[in-house]
Amino acid sequence: MNNSIIEYIKKTELDKQIPDLSTIDCNVNNNDWVKKIFESIDDNKNEDVYKSYYNFTIPKLGENGSCSMKTEFEQFDLTTVFGERSSNSDLLLWRLYKIIEELQKITNVDWLGIYKKTTYNNSNNEKEDCLLKLAYYGEFSRPIFPLTDYFQTISNNSWVGLNGKSKVIQSLETYEGIYYNCSDKVKSEICIPIFDNNQNVIGIIDAESWKDNHFNSKILLEVIKVAISLSNNL
């Protein structure tokens, strides 16, 4: 696993953020909590909590799919894209939310989400690849990011999902690249891919902070370890 962490960093071009790989802590034992979550089940199932996994509030979308910056919201039904609710989907979402909860505590980010690559019917009722938000912490946010040539020009999430490289923004104030804005509070962000065993992108992890320069090497490494752990579990 130590080698896979180094390989992941190089493959996703995070070595630009962590230039001296010999100094990082690649001890995978520090990430046993992810494995334990995927071996656990919910013995005290709360139906209201599970309903919230499938039906949640999102911002209304503006022109060309942009996020509404006003207090305009609507409900999103995850089953319309993810498929009908089942015991297996219940368990997966419960585990992903547990991972989100723990990773947020470790990294102290203000927004955190796990997305899965899937397909959906776009506005023209055509099948299209997308990133679907399965679990998150923080403010209301867009649930679907299309994986299209156009959307990768306005969204880092879509760009990462299509290219399999990471994006790190340490200060939006000085950043000159693409950025999909759903909150004026965001100061820094990372978006990294999740690969399957054949190195195909199957999802992403997106994290945001209300502070500049939040994502140091230690925090990046914690998120990387989770991304690698999700390779066989998403």
Domains of the chain in sequence order: 2-232 (3.30.450.40)
- pLDDT tops 60 at residue 30: no
- Phi, psi (rounded to 5 degrees) for 194: -115, 125
Which of 1-15, 153-167, 215-229 shows the lowest mean pLDDT across its residues? 1-15
Distance CA 234, CA 230 (A): 6
Query: Which pLDDT score is estimated for 122?
Result: 86
- pLDDT tops 70 at residue 88: yes
Of the two residues 184 and 213, the one the predictor is more confident about is: 213
Query: Which pLDDT score is estimated for 50?
Result: 95
Query: Which pLDDT score is estimated for 4?
Result: 85
- pLDDT tops 60 at residue 1: no
- pLDDT tops 90 at residue 38: yes
- pLDDT tops 60 at residue 173: yes
Query: Which pLDDT score is estimated for 176?
Result: 64
Find out whether 184 and 172 touch, Cβ atoms under 8 Å.
Answer: no
Q: What is the pLDDT of residues 102-131, one digit of tens each?
A: 999 999 999 999 999 999 998 888 899 999
Query: Which pLDDT score is estimated for 124?
Result: 86
Distance CA 195, CA 202 (A): 6
Query: Which pLDDT score is estimated for 123?
Result: 82
Residue 171 vs residues 5, 109, 147: alpha-carbon distances, Å? 25, 14, 25
- pLDDT tops 70 at residue 25: no
Question: What own/partner pairs with CB < 8 Å and gap ≥ 24 does 122-130 have?
Answer: 122/146, 130/81
Query: Which pLDDT score is estimated for 62?
Result: 63
Q: What is the pLDDT of residues 42-86, one digit of tens each?
A: 988 899 999 999 999 998 876 666 555 557 889 999 999 999 999
Please tell me what DSSP assigns to residue 177: S
Helix (H, G, I), strand (E, B) or coil at 94: helix
Which residues, at least 6 apart from 61, have a Cβ–Cβ distance to it below 8 Å?
Answer: 67, 68, 142
Taking the model in full, what pTM does it have?
A: 0.92
